[in-house]
Amino acid sequence: MEPTLPFTRTRVALLFVLAASVGLSLLLIAGRVAITHQIRFLFLAWNLFLALIPYALSTLLGLARGPLRARLLLPVGAAWLLFFPNAPYLVTDLFHLDERPDAPLWFDLALILSCAWNGLMLAYASLADMQTLVRLRLGPLAGWAFATVALLLSSFGIYLGRYLRYNSWDILANPLTLFYDILNRLLHPFAYPRTWGVTMVFGVFLLLGYGTVRVLGRAQAE
């Protein structure tokens, strides 16, 4: 029988909690715009939307069954991997935190931390779905290998987005330049220490965070 991800009460509860958390972030963004008449942090709403895409895709794959999943697996899986870095990327929006006269620093800190938290939780929830699908087909070791590679690739994607200003759709809109920049860093790694520093540090950070979330979940279940 085709392995599936059950739509349990826990999953429904997770959907409600994530929706409430994202709603809080959007409320903080809207409140700041309304009070200050500045759209400075409006881009965070777009970043949250991009972070929701991989979770929506992994949920779609998890709920699909039989022939439908077989047809969706390759294109949806590729799209998931392409958009997945957008979720943990929200952590780097902390770079925008600064003292500004139009709003208290504590409010901006709460706003950006809320978005960063949602990015991490959406990333981990989405990755857990994908890891489960891999584990059901190939075993636990393959599942963790997949999760590790996905987080390391997402960390490289975070570097591409934050420092080279690439977006997920640049793979279609600007593929040659993107391919050149990636290949150049792969062929000459010592010429780009920041590339691999960001990739490894964020990769380890994301992997430890993901491992913590998974262990906490199992501890509560026991």
143-191 pLDDT tens trace = 999 999 999 999 999 999 999 999 888 998 999 999 999 999 999 999 9
- What CA–CA distance (Å, rounded) separates 126 from 129? 5
3 state SS of 43: helix
Predicted confidence at residue 12, as pLDDT, reads 86
User: Tens of pLDDT along 94-139?
Assistant: 999 999 999 999 999 999 999 999 999 999 999 999 999 899 889 9
Kindly report the backbone phi and psi dihedral angles of residue 79, in degrees, each rounded to the nearest multiple of 5, phi listed first.
-65, -40
Residue of 121, 175, 124 lying closest to 147 (CA atoms): 124
Domain assignment present for residue 196? The answer is: yes
pLDDT value, residue 97: 95
Count: domains in the chain: 1
* Per-residue pLDDT, 5: 57
63 assigned to some structural domain: yes
Predicted local distance difference test score (pLDDT) of residue 222: 65
Tens of pLDDT, residue by residue over 68-87, are 777 888 889 999 999 999 99
Domain extent, residue 92, equals 9-220
Q: Is residue 35 part of a domain?
A: yes
Q: Say whether pLDDT at 3 is over 90.
A: no
Cα–Cα distance, 163 to 167 (Å, whole number): 11
Q: Stretch 2-23: mean pLDDT, rounded?
A: 80
CA distance 197 to 193: 6
Query: What's the full length of the chain, in residues?
Result: 222
- Is residue 163 within 8 A of residue 78, CB to CB? The reply is no
Cβ-Cβ contacts under 8 Å for 200 (sequence gap 6 or more)? 155
pLDDT tens for 17-49 read: 999 999 999 999 999 999 999 999 999 999 999
The answer to whether position 14 is within a domain reads yes
- pLDDT > 50? residue 205: yes
According to the model, what pLDDT value does residue 11 have? 81
CA dist 75 and 198 (Å) reads 29
Cβ(44)–Cβ(70) under 8 Å? no
Q: Is residue 1 part of a domain?
A: no
Residue 137 placed within a domain: yes
- Amino acid identity, residue 45? A
Other Cβ atoms within 10 Å of 74 Cβ, number: 9
Say what the pLDDT of residue 1 is: 44
